[in-house]
Amino acid sequence: MAIETTRLDPVLLTDEEMHQFLVDGFLILQPTVPVGTHETIDEKFTWLVEHETNPGNNILPRLPELNLVLESPEVRGAIISLLGLNYLIHPHRYWHYKKPSDMDPDDHEKIWAQVMAGSHQDSYSPSRQPKSHHLRYARFMYYSHDVEEIHGPTHVIPGSHFHAGIADEDRAREIPVIGPAGTVFLSHFELGHAAGVNLSDRVRHMIKFLFMRTEEPGAPSWQSTSTVWKTPEVVAAPYDLEPAWRHHWSWLCGVNGTTETAPAHETGVIDTLLTRLNAGSQIERTCAIYELAVIGNEVVGPLTDRLSAVGEQYPPNESPYQAIRGATVTMDDAAYTLGAMGADAVESLVGLLDSPHEWTRINAVFALGEIGSKADCAVPRLVELLHDPFHGVIRFTANALGNIGDAGAQKALCHLLDTDSDAWKEPAEMGWSLGDLIHVNVAMTLARLGAAAADSEADIIRHLNHPCGQVGIYLIEALRRIGAPSALDAVVRDLAIRRWDASLHDKRQF
C-alpha cells in the first residue's frame, strides 16, 4: 500500500469536544484513511501473531501502514487540539493482541471480576514519572477490526483522570469501548482503564501510542469560539469536579496559574479544604486541590509547611518515589495545589528545594514544573539540583526544566548525558540502568526545549548513538525541532542507516 505524501488539513476539535474531553477524559474518532488501510493492518497484525514476537516499540517500522492512521486529519487534529501544534509521538507504544479466552462466556460474574481486577492507570515509560493532572500526555488506542463486547474491548472509567488511584467504586464503573474497524480512542493519560476478555474466536488487535505536549499552551489550539467554560450537558462521570474542570480549561486556553478571584472564605472553610488533601473521598480531594489553588497567597504558607513536613515521614531511599517500582509516582496533593496556583507559589517552593528530605524536594520540583514558564526564576536553582544526590530528584528536575522551557538549562542537561557514574550503571528495573532513566528524562527535556536548545546541537548529535534507544529518539526530535540545516542533516543521516525493510521475514532475509 502506497503511503500518502500529502497531508490533509487537520480536523481540529470544537469547544464542545474539548469540554467533553476534560470532563470524561476521552473521546472516540473515526480516522479518514485510504480504502483498505484497516484491513491491511489487521492482516499484518494477524500474520505477526503467528510468525514473530511482538516488536514492541519497533512496531512502526515493522508495520508502517499504522502511520496512515497516526497521520489522518482526525487524529492529528485531535492531538493538536489537546496537546498543541508541536506535539511529539512518545517512543513507547505497544500492540496489545488478545487471543481467544477459554473462560466460560456465560460466567458473567467471573468475566466482570477479571475486568474489574485489571483496572489501572498506566505507568509511564521509562517508569517512575510524576502523575500530572495537566494535559501533557494523551493515550491513543486503535482497533484494526470491528470490536464488539465479545472481542474483549478496552474498558474505561469516565472522569477518573484526576484520581490519585483507582478504587473499587471506580472499577465498578468500567464501560467497554467498542466500534468498527478503525476506531480510535483518545484519552487523558491518567484515565483508568482495563482490558476486556476476548470471548470471540479471533485474535483481538489493539495498538496503543502515546503523544506528549512539548509546549505550555499559549492560546486555544482547537477550533475555539469562546474561552468561557461550559459544563457539558451529558457527563459520563457521576460527579462534579467543576473547580478542576475550570482550572484545566483555563490552562489549555493559555492562562498560567489562577486568575479567578476566589470567593471570600471563612478560616474554617480553608481548614476543611486543607484537611481533605490526601484524605477524604477522591472527589473531595480533587475539588479541594483546585479550590485551594484559586485562593492563592493566603494558603501558600500552610501548603508549603505541609510539603516541608511530609518529607520527614520517609527515611532516605524510602520515599514513595522509591517504593513504587515500575509505576507512576503520585505526588502529594499540596504539590498539585501549588502547581495549579502559579506565580504566587514560586518563591516558597524554591525555598523547599533546600530541604534535606528527598520527598519534599521532589514534590517542590514537581510543583515548579507544573507552574511552568512562570517559574523561570527558579531555573538557576533547578540547574543546581541536576547534581542532587538522589536520582529521582535529578529526573524530576529534568522534567520540570522541560515544562519551564528555558534555554538556560541546556548546557547542564547535556553535561548529564556525558555523566555515567558507577552508581548509575546499576540495573534499575526492566533492564534499564539508573543512568538510562536519567538520560531519557534529559533527552526528553532537550526535545521539548527544541529551538531553545540550538546552542547544544553538537552535543546532541554526539549522543545519538546512546545505548538506550529512547534517548536517541528524543535527541532526533530535539534536532528536528532545532531545525537548522546541519541539525536536519544529522537527523536524516541517522535515520537513513536505521531504515527498516518491513518486507523481510525469516524465509527471505534480503
Q: Which of the 8 DSSP states describes residue 317?
A: T
Shortest CB 120 distance to Fe ion, Å: 6
* Residues pairing with 137 in the sheet: 212
- Nearer to Fe ion by Cβ, of 74 and 122: the residue is 122
Shortest CB 209 distance to Fe ion, Å: 13
Shortest CB 122 distance to Fe ion, Å: 4
Q: Can you tell me the distance from the alpha carbon of 30 to that of 78, in angstroms, rounded to the nearest whole number?
A: 11
> With CB under 5 A as the contact rule, which of the stretches 114-122, 254-262, 356-364, 445-453 interacts with Fe ion?
114-122
Q: Can you tell me the distance from the alpha carbon of 88 to that of 289, in angstroms, rounded to the nearest whole number?
A: 29
Q: Ramachandran region of residue 219, left (φ > 0), alpha (ψ -120 to 50) or beta?
A: beta
Q: What is the CA radius of gyration of the chain?
A: 23
Site string for Fe ion, 73-112 (x = CB under 5 A): ----------------------------------------
Q: How far is CA 440 from CA 99, 131, 361, 400, 471, in A?
A: 33, 17, 21, 14, 5
Longest Cα pair distance anywhere in the chain, in angstroms?
76
- Nearer to Fe ion by Cβ, of 61 and 118: the residue is 118
Site size for Fe ion (CB under 5 A): 1
Question: Per CB under 5 A, which of residues 115..144 are in contact with Fe ion?
Answer: 122
- Nearer to Fe ion by Cβ, of 122 and 332: the residue is 122
Site string for Fe ion, 189-228 (x = CB under 5 A): ----------------------------------------
Q: Which residue has the cell 505550555?
A: 216
Single out the residue of 366, 361, 384 nearest to residue 314, CA to CA: 361
Shortest CB 509 distance to Fe ion, Å: 34
Site string for Fe ion, 238-277 (x = CB under 5 A): ----------------------------------------
- Nearer to Fe ion by Cβ, of 122 and 477: the residue is 122
Shortest CB 118 distance to Fe ion, Å: 9
Is 452 in contact with 407 (CB distance < 8 Å)?
Answer: yes
Shortest CB 191 distance to Fe ion, Å: 10
Q: Which of the 8 DSSP states describes residue 179?
A: B
Is 128 in contact with 324 (CB distance < 8 Å)?
Answer: yes
- Nearer to Fe ion by Cβ, of 122 and 170: the residue is 122
State which residue has the least CB distance to Fe ion: 122
Is 127 in contact with 436 (CB distance < 8 Å)?
Answer: no
Helix (H, G, I), strand (E, B) or coil at 14: strand
65 binds Fe ion (CB under 5 A): no
- Nearer to Fe ion by Cβ, of 122 and 459: the residue is 122
Shortest CB 165 distance to Fe ion, Å: 14
- Nearer to Fe ion by Cβ, of 191 and 438: the residue is 191
The H or E element that residue 138 is part of is: strand 137-143
Sign of CA dihedral 429, 430, 435, 438: negative
Q: Which residue has the cell 476478555?
A: 197
- Nearer to Fe ion by Cβ, of 122 and 190: the residue is 122
Question: Per CB under 5 A, which of residues 293..332 are in contact with Fe ion?
Answer: none
Is 86 in contact with 217 (CB distance < 8 Å)?
Answer: no
Shortest CB 203 distance to Fe ion, Å: 19
- Nearer to Fe ion by Cβ, of 65 and 122: the residue is 122
Binding interface with Fe ion (CB under 5 A): 122
